[in-house]
Homo-oligomer: A and B are copies of this chain.
Amino acid sequence: MDAAEFRKRGKEMVDYIADYLEKIDKRQVFPDVEPGYLRPLIPDCAPQDPESFEDVFKDIEKIIMPGVTHWHSPYFFAYFPAASSFPALLADMLCGGIGCVGFSWAASPACTELETVMLDWLGKMINLPDEFLAGKDGQGGGVIQGSASEATLISLLAARTKTVRRVQSEKPELTEADIMGRLVAYASDQAHSSVERAALIGGVKIKNVPSDDTFSVCGSALKKVLDEDKASGLIPFFFCATLGTTPCCSFDKLLELGPICNKENIWMHIDAAYAGSAFICPEFRHLLNGVEFADSFNFNPHKWLLVNFDCSAMWVKKRSDLTGAFKLEPLYLQHHHQESGLVTDYRHWQIPLGRRFRSLKLWFVLRMYGVTGLQEHIRKHVRLSHQFEHLVLQDERFEICAEVVLGLVCFRLKGSNELNKALLKSIDEAKKIHLVPCYLREKFVLRFAICSRTVESTHIKFAWQHISQLTVQLLEKEGKKVTFQ
């Protein structure tokens, strides 16, 4: 395919994408396929000779679309949102066209420098303390990671290196293996599984801190486990606080936790993967109070800020903590600007070496929506979640299971877990809407997350009517079961 054909096919693809997104509400949100559906539909091996674009293109509807879960359907209420917007799609096209791999400043200066400045823009939008910004001569700064999991891992590894060095200087008789064997990381019992995974990868222990009855970790809970562990000779070194937990969007109490971490020489990382986008609205910014105690902070514009996946924004107060954990410098990656102090080589900030020009997405989205446009998007989602909450509350058969703060509603039928599993099963089978469950303590709970950019009040009403109707059928059936038992 040459440039001339790309001009033609690229434009057809633009139209296909516009059509797909404009009419996505007409597609069934969750596919009908069974595992293994795709393999029989395509050949066993790659073709020897080139096929035409037409042949490939017509297979999109035939082979791919029947197996797609439509994350941008207004009937998609599962997980958390995956952001999507037209400005971000345009920026990603440009990113692909430029096709640079920006592992160092020299590998493409624009790629590195735009990222640093965009993370400053974004940091200012959520009113991060100045220490987290790069500015012209700051010690902190931001970086785009691929996912919150990587941000958690990188911060845990930086904390590990820092602590091993500190303990070794205090107690030179200890070997690195001795110290590693005594390090402990902590996170809420509501924290994302990626935190436990980061500790597994880093080869250190991790312990859950019990959350309170609002599913938040408070200072006294952390203090209790720290005291026990220190008494038994362990070395606490890392705490991952969550703002907006995955099960129910609860918030750890930063203002209590932060001072404890600071006093105990514990790195505090904040994972606000979903909730972080909301902090651009002044009315939600208070949820971030206490960030001033943290060493690192992360949220995912690719969840809720209209920047297509992947774009996970991470900031640190001391960039040297990250780079100090990893820096390895073979000659073919050195360049003569390196020691100027102005230069950032982002490969020292992340797990992979290569990186795409992802800051273009932020630049396009922030400029073409403006802060006010993005605030409107957040506020619409929060409004819709409260609309759904009110519908649930008006129905005596149901209960709300956790405070609705942002765009997630946790709800269930009053009654057994089995009953709620049966309700979810009937929702799954009908495939009119898509949502996923969670456990809160021992309770099986349905999560209703406002996701799509184009979801409106009518879709919320439809979803609730649909759930109500399935509930009636379910309770009738259950009633019959009881009657005939």
Contact = CB atoms under 8 A, between A and B. Distances in A.
Interface of A is mostly: helix
Interface stretch (A193-201, A462-470, A476-484): A193-201
Contact of A367 (B51, B84, B93, B204): B51
Interface stretch (A41-49, A261-269, A313-321, A381-389): A41-49
Interface residues of A, number: 153
Interface string A243-273: 0001100000000000000000000000000
A396 interface: no
B310 A354 contact: yes
Given A100-B71, A371-B47, A93 B10 contact: yes
A231 interface: no
A369 interface: yes
A86 B35 contact: no
A108 interface: yes
A330 B17 contact: no
B439 A86 contact: no
Interface string A1-45: 111111101110111111011100000000101111111001011
A375 B367 CA distance: 43
Interface in A160-202: 160, 175-178, 180-182, 192-194, 196-197, 200-202
A103 to B, nearest CB: 9
B122 A99 contact: no
Given A6-B89, A150-B351, A178-B177, A68 B437 contact: no
10 contacts: A7-B18, A13-B97, A36-B136, A50-B368, A56-B367, A64-B110, A71-B108, A147-B354, A194-B353, A332-B437
